[in-house]
Amino acid sequence: MSQALLQTKALTVEIGGKTVCRQWDVSINIGQRWGLLGINGSGKTTLLHTLAGLREPAQGEIRLGETLLTELPRRTIAQKIGVLLQADDDAFPGTVMETTLSGRHPWLGQWQWEGENDRMLALAALNDVGLNGVEQRQVTTLSGGERRRLALATLLTQNPQLFLLDEPTNHLDPHHQISLLDQLSQRVADATTERASLMILHDINLATRFCSHLILLFGQGEVLCGPAKDILTTAILTRLYGHPVIAVEGPNGPVFLPG
């Protein structure tokens, strides 16, 4: 049996009088790559933030491993869970390297500075996202796509077990979308690291390519989740988006398009 990194029991999440999920049970296990799909306003970001412990659920519980999330110190949660937010806001000016190194903060003691190992992790992450050679540039000089790649490099430098990603492909061209999602998939697939991921996506075909499991938010608390191969059908996707979805055969399997 696969080991659960994060699991919910009878979870109900609400925001602004709207129910995102109701009495929902799920287990995100080591090695799994989950995608979260739904129309605009269905509560995807709200659910992601709740699973990360950034907001309280209306009911139910969330466990990180065997421990209730509410019983864990924030520092421990930050060592286990890495969150990529939808917006990349920099509270303070800094260089690319300084920003990337901030991913190591959950692992440092009080008043402790980053060491050589932390810098090596940051350099490797910047190389993985194609930002090597710009370590001393100010973050404010980066393009939107470069800033998104920097946010992902910072998350890779944090080196959590569970990646929670809110629209990780924002501002990225097709090459970088595929390259970076492939980087994340490889990390989760590495059995020696015991990792998993959950990411909000708007592109069905990226979910088809990179997700082993899916969570679909239909609204009014209805959730469908399970293996991607069982869920990615034209009938289910048409109901999810309220718009006809068709499938055409591509070189690597079905490609889903608006009808």
* pLDDT attached to residue 137: 95
pLDDT level of residue 127 (50, 70, 90 thresholds)? very high
Please report which residue ranges of 174-227 form alpha helices under DSSP H. Answer: 174-189, 204-210
Instruction: Give the number of C-alpha atoms closer than 13 A to the C-alpha of residue 36, restricted to the C-beta side.
Output: 25
Residue 1 has pLDDT above 90, yes or no: no
**What is the pLDDT at residue 227?**
97
DSSP 232-250: --HHHHHHHHTS-EEEEEE
What pLDDT band is residue 13 in, cutting at 50, 70 and 90?
Answer: very high
pLDDT for position 100? 95
Which has more pLDDT, 227 or 92? 227
- The whole-number pLDDT of residue 253 equals 81
Q: How far apart are CA 94 and CA 103, in angstroms?
A: 14
DSSP state of 109: P
- Give the pLDDT band of residue 250 (cuts 50, 70, 90): confident
- Residue 173 has, within 13 A of its CA and on its CB side, a CA count of 5
Closest CA to 206 of 160, 240, 172: 172
Burial 164-188 (b: 16+ CB within 10 A, else e): bbbbbbbbbeeebbeebbeebbebb
Residue 101 binned pLDDT confidence (cut-offs 50, 70, 90): very high
- Express each pLDDT in 198-240 by its tens digit: 999 999 999 999 999 999 999 999 999 999 999 999 999 999 9
Using the predicted structure, report yes or no on whether residue 5 has a pLDDT greater than 90.
yes
CB 237 within 8 A of CB 256: yes
| Contact between 140 and 196 (Cβ < 8 Å) | no
Strand, helix or coil for residue 215: strand
- % of the chain at pLDDT higher than 70: 97
Is the pLDDT confidence value at 85 over 90? yes
Domains belonging to the chain, first-starting first, are: 4-92+160-258 (3.40.50.300)
Distance CA 240, CA 225 (A): 12
By the 10 Å C-beta count (0-12 exposed, 13-18 middle, 19+ buried), 251 is classed as exposed
Distance CA(222)–CA(220), nearest Å, equals: 6
pLDDT digits (tens, 9 = 90+) for 151-203: 999 999 999 999 999 999 999 999 999 999 999 999 999 888 899 999 999 99
The pLDDT of residue 92 = 66
Please provide the average confidence, as pLDDT, over all residues in the chain.
94
CA 38 to chain centre: 15
* pLDDT reading at 90 higher than 90: no
3-class secondary structure per residue, 160-184 = CCEEEEECCCCCCCHHHHHHHHHHH
